[in-house]
């Protein structure tokens, strides 16, 4: 009779496999959630870069047109009265420098966006190591994977 009691206390193969499947499902859900968070963070950085580039275009158009004509007329009136073309060249160069600086800042912001998912990749490596350790018998799989 004591033999039946000991046999009932040990879990069956089906319950062990079921537990492993539940743990695997939980692990996959966690990895997907982490990947979604990383993609959202990268998207937010990309939106900021695009906004900077759009503002650079707005500056080129509005400020470039209005101030360019004003500065050209001032240069022609006080510095180069007979060389209107030189006044336009000077003002155009200054506006191009401003736009180039804004464009450079926007590209730097976009270059900070990483299309790889470093946290997800790291946790996947840890999960793979934990699974291989559990299979080789170094430590239990459930505790290794779910201790996070």
Contacting residues for 80 by C-beta, under 8 A, at least 6 apart: 86, 87
Burial group, residue 130, by CB count within 10 angstroms (0-12, 13-18, 19+): buried
Contact assessment for residue 48 and residue 111, using Cβ atoms and an 8 Å cutoff: no
Of residues 43, 40, 35, 41, the one with CA closest to residue 117: 35
User: What per-residue confidence (pLDDT) applies to 1?
Assistant: 47
Q: For all residues of the chain together, what is the average pLDDT?
A: 80
Distance CA 145, CA 100 (A): 50
Say how many residues make up the chain.
148
pLDDT tens series, the chain, 148 aa: 455 555 555 778 788 878 888 888 888 888 888 888 888 888 888 888 889 889 988 887 887 788 789 888 999 999 988 888 888 888 889 888 988 998 999 899 888 877 777 777 787 788 778 777 766 765 555 554 555 5
Of residues 52, 41, 27, the one with CA closest to residue 145: 27
Distance CA 56, CA 66 (A): 15
């Amino acid at each position: 009779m004591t033999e039946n009691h000991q046999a009932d206390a040990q879990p069956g193969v089906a319950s062990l496999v079921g537990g492993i499947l539940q743990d695997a499902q939980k692990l996959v859900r966690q990895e997907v959630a982490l990947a979604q968070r990383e993609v959202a963070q990268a998207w937010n950085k990309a939106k900021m870069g695009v906004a900077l580039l759009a503002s650079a275009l707005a500056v080129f158009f509005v400020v470039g047109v209005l101030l360019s004509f004003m500065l050209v007329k001032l240069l022609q009136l006080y510095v180069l009265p007979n060389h209107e073309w030189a006044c336009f060249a000077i003002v155009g160069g200054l506006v191009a420098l401003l736009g180039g600086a804004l464009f450079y800042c926007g590209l730097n912001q976009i270059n900070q966006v990483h299309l790889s998912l470093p946290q997800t990749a790291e946790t996947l490596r840890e999960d793979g190591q934990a699974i291989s350790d559990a299979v080789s018998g170094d430590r239990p799989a459930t505790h290794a994977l779910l201790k996070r």
